[in-house]
Structure 1
Amino acid sequence: MNVAEWSTRVAEAELKAVLPRRWAHTQGVACRASEIRKTLGQDADLLVASATLHDVGYAPRLAMTGFHPLDGARFLRDEHGADERLARLVANHSFALLEAEERGLREELATEFPLLEEPLLVDALVYCDMTTTPDGDRTTAQDRVAEIVSRYGDDSVVGRFIRRATQEIFAAVERVEAALAAQPR
């Protein structure tokens, strides 16, 4: 079984029955990753796997800290012995370090799962997550950020984080769109 098939089985087992809307989002994010995989070359499968597993930490049985990137990465590392790069991508997806700071978990996250020094791969995961609605449909990064703020509220931990991360999210999405546009058709 390849890493994409494995990641789908793991995410489905953890999310589908208990969090069907999160599962729909996950499937949409994985679909975006499959669509842009050519841009990542040898890291294409890693992108698809991280897109499929990026929200696994929301599963109630895994929510130890209540911070899904950290909970998901720990689950992948501890229960599945997942590839270190995969766990680090899940832990740091969509500028999670900024949210970790809001939650008082920045040092814990950064120590256990240092950010990968692979900008296109990190940006590609941001792109896939931030151009997918909670129901798995396509959207713009601007609409996605607005949806997140409206769902969680301006003064929530997530609302504060997303406002801080907005410009970085938009810049990451723009870099991926530029890389996609530069590819031969």
Structure 2
Amino acid sequence: MELFLFVTFSALTVGSAAAVVWHPHPVKSALFLILSFFSMGGLYLLLQAEFIALMQVLVYAGAVMVLFLFVIMLLNLKPRGEDRAAFKVRVRWAVPLVLFFVGGVLTAVTGALARLAPAGSHGPDWVAAQGGNIRALGRLLFTRGLLPFEVTSVLLLVAVVGVMVLAKKERR
């Protein structure tokens, strides 16, 4: 049953993420992104990370996507009307670039996995010794992950301010 759920959530995540990129309508792309966030929450549940699954759904599928939809509607984005020739040119360039990107990601991931601690160092016994999932996550987040956490929050703030500036220029 667990394997079936993993394959289902994984296929749903990858399929909806691909639909985000390829769908021409921005609002429908955002809705596919919400579906992707929900299926990622299901994957976190399978990993017994209930808190992260809940935060995935509440923060990303809830708050961040409301912000994205607000920005899309504020900018009044229309679906792009492309002809088949332009689409074929895009695909001709996209396939090698995607393969190059996947190769780079695989290289980075395998290099990072080689530098990880021995298997089992952060297993169920370590989590239980920390006092549970939430306490272990908080300890890791605010010790090792504090800088990336803060950089991400500043990046999101800059993106929101940039969208507001762009939207204000459009109204003039």
TM-score (norm 2): 0.33
TM-score (norm 1): 0.31
Relative contact order (alpha carbons < 8 A, sep ≥ 6): 1 or 2 greater? 1
Which structure is larger by alpha-carbon Rg, 1 or 2?
A: 2
